[in-house]
Structure 1
Amino acid sequence: MEPNYDTCGMTNWVGSFDPIKFIYFMLATVIIPYPVYIFVATVFNWEHKAKRPARHYQDILNATSYGVILFIFGNYARTFNVLDNMAKLLSELDFAKTSLPRFKSWPFAMYALFLGATALVLVFAGYHIYLGIVLNRTVPGFIGYYLLALLIPVLLTLIGYACLKQQNNDLFGLSKVYNFMLYLRWKWTTRVARRSAAKQRRLDAAKQHIPTIDPPNQSVDAQQGRVATPVSEQQSSYHVSRSGSHDNLVVTTTNNTSVSFTITEGPPPTSALENIDSEIVIPPFQPYVWSVAIPGYFHPHHWQLFYTLAFFTRFDHWVSRVGAGIVIGAYMQGIMAYGFDYLIEE
């Protein structure tokens, strides 16, 4: 029994979802074809990129994610059919296992297939516009949304081209924005370093005023600039009380004999923390200078083209279903053979 999409807020021009058909869709487009294609392409030496298990896993994961988007917004819950899978075989012909950028070395059969596919795409595009006009009678406004959706891949391509020109030519002057960001980062790190140094200096100063019950050691005090001169000596147990680091020491013995120490304060000790400002190495800000260290280049792949077309073969008509099978098959062939290569590469 077909689900009632209208009660779920779905329409013919937005999308649709059916969990059972989604499972069939993923099995028919990703889960089963991927390992089968890798096995056959390796045995028969079809052109493909050798991948390690990590890359296979990543490509399958990406294909699943892309498939979710395509299934929902391509309306395949309504239109997915066995014709989709049968038409995929056209993209699995042996002479079709070639890369788009290598068109100069294509065999004649591949040229014929490409020209035929281009003509077929144009015919399919015209017929799908006709189907959109027909559907517009029952879904007012559909043809407008359908044609406006064609601007999405054009817009994405223009954005990619703009990024390419920015990377290679600094077309929009974004290097100045990046330079300002680096300057703010330099100011922040400098401020944090100075605050940390000031905090450490306060902690060190507080440690110098902590009272102690031990009598001053003459050798240690001498190294620190202080000289302790005993007035009298008494060999007995004693307790030392100190009221401050710069006060006299009073030693009380068991037989009430007092021994007085006079502390002569020398010059203040010189420590690395007191010169913390001079020891913090803060390099001056180095402005960013734009350069084409790694140039980019525009490299379209056929999986990107056919994945985009798969959103427009969305009608419950056998022509649209055959077209869906062709474009999805060509899209997945590119993914299985080469992976999700980028439109703008470095």
Structure 2
Amino acid sequence: MDNSLNSLFPEGLKSHSQWNFLTFDPLKYIYFNVAFIFIAYPLYWLIAGFFSWELARKSPCKHFSDVLACVRYGFIVFVLGAYSVTFSWNTVISFYIAIFGYALLAELPFARESLPTWPIKFQKPNNSKFLWWYLGSLTIPIILILMGILVTKEHNDRILTKKYIKIKKIIKIINIFKKSNNEINIRTELISSEPRPYLSKTRIHIHHWQIFYVLAFFTRFNHPISQIGGGIVLGIYSQGMIAGNIDPERQGIYGGLYLYTEQPQEDAQGDRIKIF
């Protein structure tokens, strides 16, 4: 008899190979959400509140919004991170050790300024083409960070705008010399003001949950090391998501990769542009 007849879910929903770009198992996805969100979220808040750990102020609506955000982020990492392969009891146990272990570490004064270094090792696959795609995808967060730096430079110094105006001047000079040799016309065309700087300044700030969320995509193998590693990075990522503010409308110690806009007024709260 076909085993798919004994399953509650259509066979087409399942994809278990660690070499596939997308993997999904509906039953494991339910377990994933229950273990890492629906149990972890209220449990962390109860324990953190009891021990007076640092928590962001949240209304019931904000809690509900953050839980939905955790589900959205979780679905992406479950499918692209192959947690239908990696998810196991090793992942669950290491997850809860990591989420509360990192919370204790984050309460130490010296730990508030930097992140601990977690050694992450990858299992080398037999398929070299897969290895290149696998390692090449690590450049995605690097590219996003570089783009954020470029946007910050443009916001603060208008470097792109200055380059654009310089090129535009050169094109105007060429066109003017072609049409006329009149020096007065040339001087008139060349008169232009420098681009005005923005009234505010920006800076890039990367938070720990963003870093470990990216690492969670690279523990996709059915091996105890990958399973434990997946639980560790998911636990630290979840600690930031649960304890802090995911919504970029609020400014605080937790968040993601943001551009913070510092207003010139002392009492003004800066706007933030979320990158991802």
Structure 2 length as normaliser, TM-score? Answer: 0.69
Question: For 1:19-74, what per-residue CA distance to the aligned partner results, in whole angstroms no more than 9, with x for missing partners?
Answer: 11111111111121111111221121001211122322222121111111100000
Distance 1:24 1:338 in 2: 24
SS of the residue 1:298 aligns to: strand
Question: For 1:134-163, what per-residue CA distance to the aligned partner results, in whole angstroms no more than 9, with x for missing partners?
Answer: x22xx4511111111111111111111111
In the alignment, does 2:142 pair up with 1:154?
A: yes
Supply the AA of the counterpart residue of 1:324: G
Question: For 1:272-302, what per-residue CA distance to the aligned partner results, in whole angstroms no more than 9, with x for missing partners?
Answer: xxxxxxxxxxxxxxx9x63332322111100
* Identity score, percent: 32
Q: Indicate which of 99, 106, 110 corresponds to 1:106.
A: 110
Q: Indicate which of 35, 40, 44 corresponds to 1:28.
A: 35
Distance 2:104 2:18 in 1: 40
Pairing 1:100-139 to 2, within 5 Å after superposition? 105-106=109-110, 115=116, 118=117, 120-121=118-119, 124-125=120-121, 128=122, 131-132=123-124, 135-136=125-126, 139=127
Q: Indicate which of 212, 216, 223 corresponds to 1:317.
A: 223
* 1:308 Cα deviation from its structure 2 partner: 0.4
Distance 2:66 2:163 in 1: 34
Q: Indicate which of 80, 95, 98 corresponds to 2:104.
A: 95
Q: 1:11 to 1:97 in 2, by over 3 A?
A: closer
Q: Indicate which of 197, 217, 225 corresponds to 1:291.
A: 197
Question: For 1:196-223, what per-residue CA distance to the aligned partner results, in whole angstroms no more than 9, with x for missing partners?
Answer: xxxxxxxxxxxxxxxxxxxxxxxxxxxx
SS of the residue 1:91 aligns to: helix
What runs of 5+ residues in structure 1 fail to find an aligned partner? 178-286
Distance 1:80 1:175 in 2: 50
CA RMSD of aligned residues (A): 3.2
* 1:345 Cα deviation from its structure 2 partner: 2.1
Q: 1:44 to 1:174 in 2, by over 3 A?
A: farther
* 1:311 Cα deviation from its structure 2 partner: 0.4
Q: Indicate which of 140, 158, 163 corresponds to 1:170.
A: 158
Distance 2:18 2:85 in 1: 10
Q: 1:53 to 1:294 in 2, by over 3 A?
A: farther
Distance 1:8 1:90 in 2: 28
